[in-house]
Amino acid sequence: MTFPFSTLPGIVQYAGQAYSNPAALCYKSGGRWCRISSSELLNSVRHAGENLIEMGLQPGDRVGIVAEPSPFWLMADLAALGAGAVTVPLFPNAAPEVLRHQISDSGMKFLFVGSEEVQDMIRPIVDSLGSPLKIVLLSSRQVQIVARRLWAENAGSQGSEPLALEWDRRAALLKPENTATLIYTSGSTGMPKGVELTHGNIVSQVRNASLCFPLDPAKDSALSFLPLAHVFERMVTYYYLASGISVAFAESSRLAGANLREIHPTILTAVPRFFQKVYERILGLVDGTSGIRGRIGKAALRRAQEKPLDASLTWKDKVFEALVYRRIRAQMGGRLRLVISGSAPLDAVLAKFLVNLGVPVYEGYGLSESSPVLAVNYPGHRKLGTVGPAFPGVELRIAPDGEVLARGPNIMKGYYGLPEETAAVLDKDGWLHTGDLGSLDEEGYLSVTGRKKELFKSANGKYVAPLPIEQALATHRLIESAVIIAEGRPFVSALIYPDFDSLLALKQDLDGDSRETGSFLQSEAVQRRFAEIVEHVNRGLNSWEQVRKFHVIDTPPAIESGEMTPTLKLRRHAVEAKYHRKIESFYDS
């Protein structure tokens, strides 16, 4: 599909004129689903943009947004962009010192906050900076009232002047090369850097997404539950708008499963942990079923785990489809035709299991610095275990040292205010040095094997790639995530975060309901369970890669404690620092 816009405000202008979708954006309020039409959306964006201009917003000013994902997040974003501003999305659950850095570093003039609670949290940070920053409460109720009133006033006047002429004038002056947004990377060490992306960077992704995943506004709809502060979900949501399909925003990530069954979408984007939870839920439901239904369910799941994707269907497969697989898909809404996984590696075994169940999972790969997609599997072009071929418009190559390099119209301008850091990752020929290690097969499919800076060298001179080992451990339902220790060490050890939901079930199985979590984890029976998991993973590893000692942590990792980034990735160095004594005890004897 050819889109006529070249900037991000052009998307909402195009959608408002090209489509008559009564449910362009949906959200739940007071127990019911509310709808905003494509025309209402455009009018609301224009009005909000005019208000910002009246409040003194100048082209180039930074406007922050710290709120949960919703139609109103999107309205604030597009209103500011059309007024010529640069938007700066922030995560509400980021640590205070991180928010302070991002507010100060970006020099923002306005900040939309999603609730009075967030406003109360952010106010002391703003006050401590002595900044003239204007805080605007982004209340869904207030914005809804404004949108409804504007629509009522203007719906019947076809010949009336457009709303917010100044907003339209400013939007028309924008160029693809203008900076649209600063997205602060949630790196594993140090303070985040502001990735400077242009309108053209992101629009190139929206246009090329239509080549891989064409959408039909008459048939397709999407559920969105990932943070819009994450560039992946934000770009995808722009594409939904441009395609004219309906987008429902989940009440929360925790309620995404229930919302799936209410909305019955055809498209979903998610992160690997979501699929791991789906997998665990499926196993739990089948394990809890007895009799003939339980036996059929267990046999169906074994078949899904073992069947090669290209194998011919047998009569058993047809029985499993009718009695088991179809019911599982119904728990995910029953209509999904595109399920896209991003943000982190998806285990190939889990992906095969889901595809054999009829869940159409396609894994992609990218970075904030690339707006974000660099490679993706898509219908007719899928190889499990890879992240797919290069995204349209993107060039990929592998450097002599194995690093993945990328070039294209989606590559960032640079890190805001950091020329040396920019030069370290963007070479003179325009290649982005991703920091990831990978390989391209003969058909151009990319496999990402780890981080360039996370290839550990043991005390014995052997190299250990931690990522595949951590992924293998996390495929077991008892394990949420793991951190491998190997750099300069005589052997490999691991810090393991258990899945606390599965741990509750294990407590019941072992009659340990009354025991405190820490003592329960250290009990002989539980340690034996985890040792069996580690031993199973070790069988697939070289001798120098095998985990010799491990510790199961009794508290979940938290963003507030610095163990996790806002995009739910473990900060390796922070975890190692927190559990330094335990790590050293592995090697004392």
pLDDT for res 152:
41
Cα(367)–Cα(70) distance, integer angstroms: 23
Report domain 9-266's class: alpha beta
Give tens-digit pLDDT for 362-401.
999 999 999 999 999 999 999 998 999 999 999 999 999 9
* Mean pLDDT within 495-514: 79
Name the more confident of 417 and 544.
Answer: 417
Burial 26-58 (b: 16+ CB within 10 A, else e): bbbeeeeeeebbbbbbbbbbbbbbbbbbeeebe
pLDDT for res 159:
35
Residue 260 and residue 223 in contact, taking contact as beta carbons nearer than 8 Å: yes
Cα(538)–Cα(447) distance, integer angstroms: 22
Residue 383 corresponds to which tokens in the numbers above?
Answer: 């190889």
User: Please, which pLDDT band fits residue 573 given cuts at 50, 70 and 90?
Assistant: confident
Cα(175)–Cα(167) distance, integer angstroms: 15
Q: State which fold the 455-586 domain adopts.
A: GMP Synthetase; Chain A, domain 3 (3.30.300)
- 211 pLDDT higher than 90: yes
* Mean pLDDT within 350-368: 93
CATH assignment of 272-334+336-452, among 3.30.70.990, 2.60.40.1180, 3.40.50.12780, 3.40.50.620? 3.40.50.12780
Which residues of the chain form CATH 3.30.300.30? Answer: 455-586
Give helix 231-243 / helix 199-212 axis angle, nearest 10°. Answer: 70
pLDDT for res 148:
43
Name the more confident of 452 and 444.
Answer: 444
pLDDT for res 190:
61
- 554 pLDDT higher than 90: no
Cα(35)–Cα(364) distance, integer angstroms: 30
pLDDT for res 1:
67
pLDDT for res 104:
93
- 450 pLDDT higher than 90: no
HSE toward the beta carbon, residue 222, CA cutoff 13 A = 27
Which residues of the chain form CATH 3.40.50.12780? Answer: 9-266, 272-334+336-452
**Of the ranges 254-258, 281-285, 365-369, the best mean pLDDT one:** 365-369
